[in-house]
């Protein structure tokens, strides 16, 4: 049962709550940043969507004192899962990081395709390649959206929670971009990202049929690249930053338009 847990005396993140209707929730506080600093607990959270939050889940979310919830889902996601639960006094900002029409037929095949269709779509490494490509594309093409998020965080939008559907890909990249701006090492960012693989965090995969063959071992193996958090995906995103802008500093300044004073405010608000 979810309980509100007071902060520990050391200022470490609270013990993780047992949310039942919200997947993949965690506080990213405590991650190490440059200069011996750490991400401040209770300021930045990540999760899957909040549409199925229970009453007890909602009580816990309300206890966080959130200012803003960033929802990176698109209209198709909202139609499938529903809107987020309402949290009184919290600003909800929807910034879609994928087009509803992008891959619509692909995701229909994921839900309804038979084994032969899935082999053709995802076999021989095609599933993992698609995921790496999508991570690269979001970094390269969604600079305006990520700039908006970081400018908001540097203003008055914390404490904040970022989520998409599963809390792994779109939210994972937005958290990664934020952590890069805070000076968190890439290895620590990847380690936090990989936490999404824990069984209690993973997105509940929906298939169009309940027949055993719809979730056979081979089907699930073919689908796994889409629902795994894999270091190679985040590495592809980091490589895109390096290849396109020459490194994180230029990406933040030129790609996201973050002035030094904005970065300073961001770090002052989110780092101990």
Catalytic residues: 164
Distance between CA 221 and CA 39 in Å, rounded?
Answer: 36
Distance between CA 166 and CA 46 in Å, rounded?
Answer: 10
Alpha helices in the chain (DSSP H): 55-63, 75-81, 104-112, 115-122, 126-141, 143-154, 170-181, 186-194, 217-227, 231-245, 248-250, 260-270
In this structure, the strands spanning 26-27 and 160-163 are unpaired
Find, among 32, 14, 23, 12, the residue nearest to 189 by Cα. Answer: 32
Q: Extract the tokens encoding 118.
A: 């899935």
Strand partners, 68: 91, 160
Find, among 178, 176, 180, the residue nearest to 229 by Cα. Answer: 176
């Amino acid at each position: 049962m979810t309980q509100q847990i007071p902060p520990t005396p050391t200022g470490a993140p609270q013990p993780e709550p047992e949310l039942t209707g919200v997947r993949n929730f965690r506080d990213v506080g405590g991650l190490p940043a440059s200069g011996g600093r750490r991400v401040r607990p209770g300021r930045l959270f990540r999760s899957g969507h909040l549409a199925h939050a229970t009453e007890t889940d909602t009580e816990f979310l309300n206890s966080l004192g959130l200012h803003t919830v960033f929802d990176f889902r698109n209209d198709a996601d909202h139609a499938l899962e529903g809107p987020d639960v309402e949290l009184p006094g919290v600003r909800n900002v929807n910034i879609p990081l994928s087009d509803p029409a992008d891959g619509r037929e692909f995701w229909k095949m994921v839900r309804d395709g038979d084994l032969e269709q899935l082999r053709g779509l995802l076999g021989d490494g095609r599933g993992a390649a698609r995921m790496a490509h999508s991570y690269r594309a979001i970094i390269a093409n969604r600079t305006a959206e990520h700039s908006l998020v970081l400018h908001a965080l540097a203003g008055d939008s914390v404490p904040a929670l970022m989520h998409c559907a599963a809390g792994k890909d779109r939210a994972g990249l937005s958290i990664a971009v934020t952590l890069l701006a805070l000076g968190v090492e890439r290895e620590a960012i990847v380690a936090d990202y990989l936490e999404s693989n824990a069984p209690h965090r993973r997105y509940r995969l929906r298939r169009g049929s309940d027949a055993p063959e719809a979730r056979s071992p081979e089907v699930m193996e073919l689908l796994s690249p889409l629902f795994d958090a894999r270091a190679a995906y985040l590495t592809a995103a980091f490589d895109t930053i390096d290849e396109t802008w020459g490194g994180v500093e230029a990406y933040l300044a030129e790609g996201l338009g973050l002035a030094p004073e904005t970065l300073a405010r961001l770090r002052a608000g989110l780092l101990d």
